Amino acid sequence: MGVFQGNPTLTRFFTLHFIIPFSVLGMVLLHLLFLHETGSSNPLGILMFHPYFSLDLFGFFLVAFSLSMICLLHPDMGDPNFIPANPLVTPPHI
């Protein structure tokens, strides 16, 4: 026999998936309220665009290049992807 998830487990899982987004929304709204009351801390009032944009652009290209190299150089991602599925046998790589 294996592990069986019954009704209590599914109820708790559904409850958490229903409550967590509303709690996150509440924290975001509370954060925005506090930010609106105190204001952000930028004493000079100058927002430098170039360093942040350049760093974000570099990060984007680095991630895009890395994912492209994985897709182009190793499209099959190993032998276990070509083994037909068998629910009675666990693959050796797990």
> Is 59 a member of any domain?
no
> Is 18 a member of any domain?
yes
> Is 20 a member of any domain?
yes
Please tell me the pTM assigned to this model.
Answer: 0.46
Extract the tokens encoding 68: 């492209």
CA dihedral sign, ordered 4, 8, 14, 15: negative
* Residue pLDDT tens, the chain, 94 long: 567 788 888 899 999 999 999 999 999 999 999 998 887 777 777 778 888 899 999 999 999 999 999 999 988 887 777 778 888 988 777 7
> Is 27 a member of any domain?
yes
Asked if 90 and 79 count as a contact pair (C-beta separation under 8 A), the reply is no
30: domain range?
9-37
Question: What are the b/e assignments for 2-26, b being 16+ CB within 10 Å?
Answer: eeeeeeeeeeeeeeeeeeeeeeeee
Q: Return the pLDDT at 12.
A: 92
> Is 89 a member of any domain?
no
Identity of the residue numbered 58: F
> Is 49 a member of any domain?
no
Q: Return the pLDDT at 36.
A: 87
**What is the 3-state secondary structure of 10-28?**
HHHHHHHHHHHHHHHHHHH
